[in-house]
Amino acid sequence: MAGKLGQGLQGVIAAIATAVDERGEPDCARSIALARFLLANGCDGLNVLGTTGEATSFSLDQRRRVMTAYAESDLPLTRMMVGTGAAALADAIALTRHAAELGFAGALVLPPFYYKGVPDEGLVAVIETILSATAARPIPLYLYHFPAQSGLPWHVALVRRLVRSFGDRIAGLKDSSGDMAYAREAAAIDPSFRVFPSAEAALPQARSGPFAGCISATANLNSDLCARAYRSGDSAALAEAVAIRKLFDGKPLVPGIKALLAHIHGDAQWARVQPPLFGYPAADRAAAIAGYDTVRAKRVA
């Protein structure tokens, strides 16, 4: 059964973007400045190097450098999970070990995503190998369920098997599928198993229901609203947070998030993404800025 390991992570967690410089390298200084801003403006924690952080577009060395830069800042790693999933098991082990050595509160693990239709035994072997390789520093693992991107689900029966086999090392799950029935079923596996849907709309259920919080890309933009919704049940703030998320419906999310970060922080460098992603089209950028400013103007009024 899941236990106490890694249970410091809860509430509003931003899937924080990673700044990219003109050479295509991660811009650690800008990224850490954003992390500091988000933690000071409503976020209970951060998910570093997830999908919004473009982790799989960076090399192993680049990902290690980002992780090390966070560790060398004065930011609280006890409030952060970091993405360590990779297509190659050796890379996932290396990243998870690095996360453990640096002191991150958890490692967020995608299934190895190249081969599709693999048996459960193959995925169990991956997790068992990562756990064995990090036994000396037992960092909690959070499963990353995003089948639309990875092509492989952490289906509920498999998650239950992992929790029963490996106990509190399997601390929780981030669900980016948008399937709330799946999220609720996963959360019911064990009272200590911490499930984080990816949308702000789940925050009311996180206040008193089955979820530990939410891990959201758009919390880069609306962390203060999410915090009001989560901490005090502010329904108007929740509606505004959801309205900001809806600005990206049907559009590329990560370039859109970064385009709005450039607007919010008055820093055009934030709009840069790592290939194969591409910058947000000008018309979409203008529409997102107008929509965002309208939502914010309502709160000021």
Concatenate the DSSP letters of all residues of 98-143 into one string: HHHHHT-SEEEEPPP-SS-S--HHHHHHHHHHHHHHTTTS-PPEEE
List Cβ neighbours of 301 (8 Å cut-off, separation of 6 or more): none
Per-residue confidence band for 169, with pLDDT thresholds at 50, 70 and 90? very high
Q: Is 144 one of the catalytic residues? A: yes
- Domains in the chain (CATH in brackets) are 11-232 (3.20.20.70)
Phi, psi of 89 (to 5 degrees): -60, -40
Tell me the pairing of strands 45-48 and 141-145.
unpaired
Q: In angstroms, rounded to a whole number, what is the distance separating the alpha carbons of residues 254 and 277?
A: 8
Contact between residue 47 and residue 53 where contact means Cβ atoms under 8 Å apart: yes
CA distance 5 to 9: 10
Residue 5: its pLDDT value, please?
47
Question: What does the pLDDT read at residue 3?
Answer: 36
Mean pLDDT of the chain: 95
Q: Is the pLDDT of residue 298 over 90?
A: no
Q: Is 174 considered catalytic here?
A: yes
What beta strand segments (E) does the chain contain? 11-15, 45-48, 80-83, 106-109, 141-145, 170-175, 194-197, 213-216
Question: What CA–CA distance (Å, rounded) separates 174 from 45?
Answer: 14
> pLDDT by residue (tens digit) across 43-68?
999 999 999 999 999 999 999 999 99
- pLDDT value at position 7? 56
Could you report the per-residue pLDDT of 75-100, keeping only the tens digit for each? 999 999 999 999 999 999 999 999 99
Lowest mean pLDDT among 3-7, 87-91, 145-149, 182-186: 3-7
**Mean pLDDT, range 279-298, rounded to an integer:** 95
Instruction: Locate the DSSP E strands across 123-270.
Output: 141-145, 170-175, 194-197, 213-216
Strand partners, 145: 175
What is the C-alpha R_g of the chain?
Answer: 18
Q: pLDDT digit string (tens) for 198-252?
A: 999 999 999 888 999 999 999 999 999 999 999 999 999 999 999 999 999 999 9
Confirm if 190 and 156 have CB atoms less than 8 A apart.
no
171 φ, ψ to 5°? -85, -30
Q: Which of the two residues, 74 and 129, has the higher pLDDT score?
A: 129
Query: How many helices (H) and strands (E) would you count in the chain?
Result: 12, 8
The active-site residue, picked from 70, 142, 174, 182, is 174
Report the C-alpha gap between 259 and 204 in whole angstroms. 28
Options 70, 142, 144, 280, the catalytic residue: 144
Q: What is the mean pLDDT of residues 21-38?
A: 98
- Residue 204 backbone phi and psi in degrees, to 5: -60, -35
